[in-house]
Structure 1
Amino acid sequence: MANDFLFSDEPEQPAEKVNQGYWKVIIVDDEPEVHAVTKLALSDFEFQDKKLKFISAYSGKEAQEIIVQHPDAAIVLLDVVMETDDAGLKVAQFIREVAHNHHARIILRTGQPGQAPERQVIVNYDINDYKSKTELTAQKLFTVVMSSLRSYRDILSIEKSRLGLERIIIASRDLFSAHSMDNFIHGVMQQLTSILGTVDEALYATSLVASNPDDVESNLIVFAGQGDFEKSEGKPIDEVLSIEQLQACNLALSQRSIVYKDNYLFAYCSSRCNHNSMLYVSGIPKQLNATHKHLIEIFAQNVQVAFENVQLQSEIEDTQREIVYRLSEAVEQRSEETGNHVKRVSLISYELACDYGLSEADAEILKHAAPLHDIGKIGIADTILHKPDTLDENEWKIMQTHATKGHEILKNSRRSIIQAGAILAQDHHEKWDGSGYPEGKSGEQIHVYGRIVALADVYDALRHKRCYKAAWPIEKVLDELTLQKGRHFEPKLVDIFIENIAKYEHILKIYPDK
């Protein structure tokens, strides 16, 4: 038995605490002993796994410099009387009014209460507590620091919520105002980045574009993606995700919730139209706080609504454009011109507008409005429209009225495309030298839309057969355009047109007469 040794169990080592950072405390006092005593009294202080980090300033001027360098300081222990009787009060004023720091908690300490009466200081200065050094025992110092830190923590929480709400409002505004499905996923990524701080790639899949939206499990189709998913559009979601990712996706779908993994998430997007959609985002911060998760939840709830609004807006705009084209084609067919004439004029006008320097938005409007330039011909008799010979003087006057008729038909619309069509109808027969109709405008009095479409319209008409003429070869057309430079057409436009003629000729080849 003597050889049997019993060893007591070694005490378990306490788990090492993870350093969660520090609460910064700025001590402002001209007495070094005050700094030493304060640090000693609070040496073992800890709040929410954070210790205190002390920063010392020994004068009002030094305190102002330190406050600017450390805007994230939680508490300022501030002496009133230093190099001057009111040096501390000036520092308090500087913190709030110059540095615009309204988060830091200011605790005013004074050894001479008579120099700055408490009531007057509390009323006139934005401080959070006022203590006499003689009454500030170690326990009272502990209590005031603890209560101040709690206030500071709550203020930061409110501020984060405010900033988060602001970001959500901006995100919703940007997504709901989007008019392009192509920009949708980019907008989602941009707004999530502003909320989370970092995002690597994203994927948006929905049953809305599936052939059978009711079959939820097998018909989540990738609508848009970024990063590795950029080329996954149109594919079923189970073909582009890994097994682990698909499991997380199915869990989010079945629970209609958000599933968080190490560095990515799947968020189920609720729909007002009973469609199922899923948002995948990777590269998110590993430590997401409650505020971030709440913002992601709000964002996911609104993404699907934004998507449906963007899709509806696109469908409305596409419908409007199709109606414009079909109506214009009907008018052109009455004139015994092919429907492709309006399509060619539309595309040529767009390219010429871009080459001329118009913005992309203006060029797009012009492209979709160009087919309306001859809409007034709907009010011209067939006998005039189809006459193979030269029109007599009276017939020509009647033909000229189509410009005014077209303007009258379109002018009262509030839609940008129709408004542009009204301008084109009225101005596309005006000439640079003032010899055109219906109003004899000249130069820049003619709207730029009218100047561009006039050139595109004449070019296309000359290059194709009409009931009153044969198609002209390109050389003859270019000679005519050069001749009409400064007469019928704006000189700058003619130069740009001739310089880029290959581009416009290519449009004629793509859309020939039927």
Structure 2
Amino acid sequence: MSDEILFAEDIEEEIGEDHGTWKVLIVDDEPEVHAVTKLALSDFVFQEKRLEFISAYNGKQAKQLFLEHNDIAVVLLDVVMETDDAGLKVADFVRNEAMNNFTRIILRTGQPGQAPERDVIINYDINDYKSKTELTAQKLFTVVIAALRSYRDITVIEENRIGLEKIISASADLFSIHSLEHFIDGIVQQLASLLGGSKDCAYLTSAVACPRPIENIDSSQLFVFTGKGEYQHREGERLEEVISGKQLESCQKALQNKSLVYEDEYLVAYCKSKSMRGSLLYMSGLPRKLTKIDKRLVEIFAQNVQIAFDNVLLNKDIEDTQREIIERIGQALEYHFGEGKHILRVVKMCELLGSKIGLSEDEIKMLGLAVPLHDIGKFKIPEVILNKADKLSDSERKVVQNHAEFGYLVLKNSKRPLIRTAALIARDHHEYWNGKGYPRGKYGEEIHIFCRITALVDAYDALRHSRNYKEAWPLEKVVENIKQQKGLQFDPSLVDVLLENIDAIEQIIADNPDPLVE
């Protein structure tokens, strides 16, 4: 006989997919009941999921376990334990204190006379009532199967309800977004809520909608519109340049079939569009395997994404049109009055101060769009007075001051909030903090914050640049003058903010110099 030791060949054990478990809580003061119940249901399988048993031996333990586990599918609950109604108190706790309406409660009692079935069924929100003597192994199996089916259906309904709420919330949030910069943030945030998060995300659409339009290409191609994670800063690049391999094939399949393509680590959702070939929403690094409900929610969400995207583009086009019209009017004013890039600088300075004092994004946008019209009333001033290098007479000064009220009259009857805001700024940007300005002698916070910001910025830029009646002042002299007028002409808190950000203000001036006069 050979002394050589021979080992049997290792056979790799096939590991089945984990489908999870159904949690079953056994509440009974008799340990034998726990053992028998577990034995009777030891080979129980429902929808490829086995049972996970949890034990409690009195009412107090049972209540604590319900607080610790929010996914108990079935509780087999003894009525008589430390007290004659301990089980009934647990049932009441589950429904009315723990607010758990999903767990199926099956009461088991060895003393039916202590808690008559009719009274218990009427007075307590339980799902079944059984005497221990009648619960054979087969009947126990049947009761648990029925309870699990009920629990499954209720949880599916609840998941759909929660999903519907999330879709409604996501849609509302997306449709409230009017900024292309915030669009992808909104998508990622809402999908994170739906799916539990992801690492990378890209929104791919036709080149005509890219933030960096690409000329002379096939408009049927898809390009990265915007992205997060790995796809951040890849705007304008072709789909084939940023996604490859099986992921690219999935993208092409989703686009061709106009469908959702899902793998363990990523998904591609087709977004239907009336105006374009269609778009794709690509996400990778998914935190978990998606359920059928998840996939359905993503499909619904993808359609809302495209509608929201079209909405963003439409709003952007409207805002860009408004901005261009007003900027062109401002440029006409600059050209007519020989003020170089004064209005452009004033807009940028106003937006800077607005952000520093905590104005909302919508307020800053409104201010930036309206402020180019602040001096539109100057068209009323005769050029001989406007270009006069000598000191103005009292009557001439009165004519100049009338430009504020005239600008207001030109704009005030509009129904558009933007134009009405411009009218207010045109009228009140010469009001003083101490009430000695014009045209109406307003003072302090009675003057709208937009007007106070414009007044300070307008004066600062005018002092820093030459006019036909004055030379440009050096920075030190301008700062000294602004400090002297703090609390008199200008809002003192705004003066502090301007001086705290003087480097940024001066950078705006450096970046936007007046053109050289030939």
TM-score (norm 1): 0.89
Partners of 1:62 and 1:487 lie apart in 2 by 72
Residue of structure 1 equivalent to 2:225: 223
Whether 1:92 and 2:110 are equivalent positions in the alignment is no
Q: Write the mapping of 1:95-494 to structure 2, written as runs, cut at 5 A.
A: 95-207=94-206, 208-209=208-209, 215=218, 217=220, 219-285=221-287, 287-334=289-336, 336-338=337-339, 340-356=341-357, 358-382=359-383, 384-411=385-412, 413=414, 415-494=416-495
**Matched residues, number:** 501
The answer to whether the Cα contact below 8 Å between 2:214 and 2:236 also exists between their aligned partners in 1 is no
Distance 1:150 1:14, change over 3 A: farther
Distance 1:263 1:461, change over 3 A: same
The answer to whether the Cα contact below 8 Å between 2:355 and 2:364 also exists between their aligned partners in 1 is yes
The answer to whether the Cα contact below 8 Å between 1:216 and 1:276 also exists between their aligned partners in 2 is no
**CA deviation string 1:388-411 (max 9, x = no partner):** 554443443333232223334444
Deviation at residue 356 of structure 1 after TM alignment? 4.5
Q: Secondary structure at the match of 1:74?
A: strand
Q: Secondary structure at the match of 1:294?
A: helix
**CA deviation string 1:190-232 (max 9, x = no partner):** 2222222231111221114365899455x21211122222232
Q: Secondary structure at the match of 1:56?
A: strand
**CA deviation string 1:331-386 (max 9, x = no partner):** 4444x233521111111222233444545554443233221222233444555445
Partners of 2:202 and 2:467 lie apart in 1 by 52
Residue of structure 2 equivalent to 1:65: 64
The answer to whether the Cα contact below 8 Å between 2:204 and 2:225 also exists between their aligned partners in 1 is yes
Partners of 2:318 and 2:155 lie apart in 1 by 45
TM-score (norm 2): 0.88
- One-letter amino acid matched to 1:326: R
Residue of structure 1 equivalent to 2:505: 504
- One-letter amino acid matched to 1:165: L
Q: Secondary structure at the match of 1:430?
A: coil
Deviation at residue 171 of structure 1 after TM alignment? 1.9
Q: Secondary structure at the match of 1:134?
A: helix
Which stretches in structure 1 are left out of the alignment for 5+ residues?
1-11
Partners of 1:113 and 1:213 lie apart in 2 by 84
The answer to whether the Cα contact below 8 Å between 2:74 and 2:104 also exists between their aligned partners in 1 is yes
- One-letter amino acid matched to 1:26: L
Distance 1:220 1:89, change over 3 A: same
- One-letter amino acid matched to 2:230: D
Partners of 1:214 and 1:162 lie apart in 2 by 45
Distance 1:265 1:319, change over 3 A: same
Partners of 1:37 and 1:480 lie apart in 2 by 92
Deviation at residue 146 of structure 1 after TM alignment? 0.5
The answer to whether the Cα contact below 8 Å between 1:199 and 1:282 also exists between their aligned partners in 2 is yes
The answer to whether the Cα contact below 8 Å between 1:222 and 1:237 also exists between their aligned partners in 2 is yes
Deviation at residue 13 of structure 1 after TM alignment? 12
The answer to whether the Cα contact below 8 Å between 1:213 and 1:275 also exists between their aligned partners in 2 is no
Q: Secondary structure at the match of 1:429?
A: coil
Deviates more, 1:314-323 or 1:372-381: 372-381
Identity fraction in percent:
56
- One-letter amino acid matched to 1:469: K
**CA deviation string 1:250-279 (max 9, x = no partner):** 222221222233422222211122432122
Partners of 2:17 and 2:357 lie apart in 1 by 63
- One-letter amino acid matched to 1:428: H
Partners of 1:240 and 1:13 lie apart in 2 by 39
Partners of 1:59 and 1:351 lie apart in 2 by 66
- One-letter amino acid matched to 1:116: A
The answer to whether the Cα contact below 8 Å between 2:67 and 2:98 also exists between their aligned partners in 1 is yes
Partners of 1:499 and 1:54 lie apart in 2 by 66
Distance 1:22 1:235, change over 3 A: closer
Distance 1:499 1:227, change over 3 A: closer
Q: Secondary structure at the match of 2:134?
A: coil
Partners of 1:503 and 1:61 lie apart in 2 by 65
Distance 1:387 1:282, change over 3 A: same
Deviation at residue 458 of structure 1 after TM alignment? 1.5
Report the RMSD for the aligned CA atoms in angstroms.
2.8
